[in-house]
Structure 1
Amino acid sequence: MKILITGGHLTPALAFIDFVNKNHSEDKIIFLGRTHTQNKSKQESREEQETLKKGVQFISFKSIKLSKNNLFEKLKAVPILISSTLKSVIIIGRNKPDIFVSFGGYLAVPVMFASWIMRVPIITHEQTRTAGIANKLISKFADKIAVSYKDSLKYFPIDRTFVTGNLIRKNILDVNNIRPKWIEKKLKNPIIYITGGSQGSEIINHTVSQVVKSLTKDWTVIHQCGNSTKSRNYKKELTQIKDNLPMSNRNNYYIKEWLDEEELSWAYSNAKIIVSRAGANTTEEIALRGIPSVLIPLPFSHNDEQLKNAQALSNKSQAILLEQKFLNPKTLLESIELINKYNRKFSRNLEMFSKSINSETKLYSMVKKVAIKNA
């Protein structure tokens, strides 16, 4: 079976690829992805690097983000969407996939239209507790829709929608005590891992820069800041701040644009506290690893999906929710102090976190059945 994939939500796509590679190596996967997360910012995407590591064919592809309300943006998108759809038709004609599996995102829309035109069956997976703009549209043409949570069922046609659960990379959940090469010595202080998500977060980076001198007195701070953009180089800016710290503090601050799966597994295995955005996969990974966290949801995520993810944990005292409108150096330090003080309580509560069971198997089974039915 030849599977064409796009991964607006990259990490569940990578988890699915891992499952197929391990259990169905006779299948071939083709990944259509971005070389840049946003065309304007020119921030490098990790899709090509991460998929090529897994032995997957990567095809660079561009489209345009869909606007929900702006009529001018909608009109501007039409010719680009038509062009992207025609390019998708050519790609599908050359590669002849048996099925198209979407993990949401604007890139999947023209590929969906092309798949429908070329009579290639379509399955889409919704990662979040709501429904993305792209997936709402894709669901009208999809043979089947898979969702991570029961909360999402109401957004899609009930007769074609099934709960598979969220797809989590298995090696992320493995205990890993092999230090990354960039940490040259054994660490004495407890670790805080700070991340703004795969693209980084300007406001989290800025707030951390204001408190890092205080934090690094008692903590080792590992800060994933995101790749540079056309206008900002987060790592360079933070390194300048690091260089002005006292030597003892400086040695407790590690700045990384990105952590690969092995490095992230190590961070999860050794961090006492995590400060993070609240994407669906990140929150589930943190919860499954049982790490108390301060979650700062992206305030303009579609349908407040990140807020809902954070609330799912904070309402059960499994994490602290710190909304971005209240984020400042004082509230960040207070939240870290609070979660450290009650660390054992939060850890115990996280033992009750409900885990998705056999999500990859369920999704693959759906993919296989639909592909065979349409062969």
Structure 2
Amino acid sequence: MSGNKKILLAGGGTLGSVSPLIAISSKYQADYLFVGTENGPEKDFVMSHGIDNFQSIRSGKLRRYFDWQNFLDIFNIIVAFFQSIKIILKFKPDIILTAGSFVAVPVVFAGWLMRKPIVVHQQDILVGLANRLMAPLATKITVVFNDQIKDFNSKKTVVTGNPVRTTTNVFVKDDKLVVITGGGLGARSMNKFLRPFVEKIIKSGFKVYHVLGSKNADQALDIEGYYSDKFINKSMLDILSQADIIISRAGMSLISEAASLKKALIIVPMPDSHQERNASFLAKHNAALMVRQGNYQIMDRYLDKLLAKEELRLGLGENIYKLFPKNAINDYIILIDQILND
């Protein structure tokens, strides 16, 4: 295929479904259009990483239980489907890439109807409803681990690992650092759970950098050695690279970035969500420490160990690094070229 390729990326609502796509776009030369939600955090994030062409569509969540909101969301999904057709007709993408999210579903359905190649990427251990709907229409499905192949049609499923952004910045590290983050939208309940431990961390000789979330600025603490931000766009990976310990939710996107940096990770999964399966998978492989939100005793015990023992921190970092497949971006790019050159 000659000329500059045109690639449509679809995802949003949270940054978990966006980060792998940004990692690909940073290494693969093409004309990109990103289709996301109207009110999510992804627009600023995407544009800060060099993709200026962003279009939003309606978004509706598909619930597996009765809720009056379902009726409005069905209408939004129908509108989004026709918006997607219009966008695809105008942009004429050579391929559509998504890493999940409900906003991508109408885009993929429209793309399939218009015979566009589609790659659906599955990050989380538990397959969500959006990817279950999109997978049958995909040209190829990419997964992070071999264990995930069983969840899809094996004939069109490829293990690539999880594409992650990279940092080339080199820092002189003076202080030991714990980074706390609840993901792209922040996590108010997790911030509240971790509040009693901040002083303990600082008294142990560590600084704390806390990404609160865009609506959680009121949860910032006034303690020497504690720094906070509401939301980080482009420099988040640089901050993670400085951490000795990362305490976070259990979204696979941030976990993968921590793995690439060989960081000791304490994960507090969102209660009653797919994140609990991600956390259990890592804990089973001794690649991270899992703490259920509200279990103060376990968090206190794990912090005592990690703050005191550098060898334990380094060991966890090595374990999570070894668990994840390497060269994910390169393998994903090879797959894109294979599809486009078929």
Letter paired with 1:290: K
Q: Which residue of 2 aligns with 1:238?
A: 219
Aligned pair 1:31/2:28, yes or no?
no
2:246 alignment partner, one of 274, 282, 286: 274
- TM-aligned CA distance change 1:123 to 1:270, over 3 Å: closer
Aligned pair 1:251/2:232, yes or no?
no
Report the Cα distance in structure 2 between the residues aligned to 1:165 and 1:61, rounded to whole angstroms.
29
Preserved CA contact (<8 Å) 1:238 1:255: no
Letter paired with 1:122: I
For these two proteins, the number of residue pairs brought into alignment is 330
Aligned pair 1:222/2:209, yes or no?
yes
1:203 alignment partner, one of 184, 189, 201: 189
Report the Cα distance in structure 2 between the residues aligned to 1:80 and 1:268, rounded to whole angstroms.
37
- TM-aligned CA distance change 1:351 to 1:216, over 3 Å: closer
SS of the residue 2:59 aligns to: coil
2:139 alignment partner, one of 115, 136, 143: 143
Cα offset, 1:95, TM superposition: 1.1
SS of the residue 2:323 aligns to: coil
What residue ranges of structure 2 are gaps of 5+ in the alignment?
none
Report the Cα distance in structure 1 between the residues aligned to 2:241 and 2:78, rounded to whole angstroms.
46
Q: Which residue of 1 aligns with 2:58?
A: 62
Report the Cα distance in structure 1 between the residues aligned to 2:245 and 2:277, rounded to whole angstroms.
21
Preserved CA contact (<8 Å) 1:175 1:269: no
Cα offset, 1:143, TM superposition: 1.4
Question: TM-score, normalization: structure 1?
Answer: 0.81
Aligned pair 1:10/2:5, yes or no?
no
CA RMSD between the two structures: 2.2
Q: Which residue of 1 aligns with 2:89?
A: 93
Report the Cα distance in structure 2 between the residues aligned to 1:335 and 1:206, rounded to whole angstroms.
18
Cα offset, 1:357, TM superposition: 2.5
Report the Cα distance in structure 2 between the residues aligned to 1:316 and 1:117, rounded to whole angstroms.
41
- TM-aligned CA distance change 1:126 to 1:317, over 3 Å: closer
Report the Cα distance in structure 2 between the residues aligned to 1:2 and 1:162, rounded to whole angstroms.
22
Deviations 1:13-67, CA, capped at 9 Å, x for gaps: 11011111xxx3xx21110112423xxxxxxx1x222222333211122210111
SS of the residue 1:59 aligns to: strand
1:290 alignment partner, one of 240, 262, 277: 262
Preserved CA contact (<8 Å) 1:283 1:309: no
1:260 alignment partner, one of 233, 236, 257: 233
- TM-aligned CA distance change 1:350 to 1:356, over 3 Å: same
Report the Cα distance in structure 1 between the residues aligned to 2:7 and 2:228, rounded to whole angstroms.
37
Q: Choose 1 or 2 for highest CA Rg.
A: 1
1:308 alignment partner, one of 277, 282, 297: 277
Report the Cα distance in structure 2 between the residues aligned to 1:292 and 1:120, rounded to whole angstroms.
41
Deviations 1:125-170, CA, capped at 9 Å, x for gaps: 1112221211111011111111111122111112211111111112
Report the Cα distance in structure 1 between the residues aligned to 2:331 and 2:258, rounded to whole angstroms.
23
Q: Which residue of 1 aligns with 2:340?
A: 371
Deviations 1:284-310, CA, capped at 9 Å, x for gaps: 222332222221111232xx3x22322
SS of the residue 2:22 aligns to: helix
- TM-aligned CA distance change 1:163 to 1:263, over 3 Å: closer
Report the Cα distance in structure 1 between the residues aligned to 2:199 and 2:330, rounded to whole angstroms.
46
Letter paired with 1:153: I
- TM-aligned CA distance change 1:308 to 1:175, over 3 Å: farther
Aligned pair 1:177/2:171, yes or no?
yes
Cα offset, 1:263, TM superposition: 4.4
SS of the residue 1:285 aligns to: helix
- TM-aligned CA distance change 1:259 to 1:178, over 3 Å: farther
Deviations 1:193-250, CA, capped at 9 Å, x for gaps: 111111111111112333434443343111011111xxxxx11x124x42xxxxxxx2
Report the Cα distance in structure 2 between the residues aligned to 1:60 and 1:76, rounded to whole angstroms.
18
What residue ranges of structure 1 are gaps of 5+ in the alignment?
38-44, 180-185, 229-233, 243-249
- TM-aligned CA distance change 1:347 to 1:357, over 3 Å: same
- TM-aligned CA distance change 1:75 to 1:156, over 3 Å: farther
Letter paired with 2:35: L
Cα offset, 1:99, TM superposition: 1.4
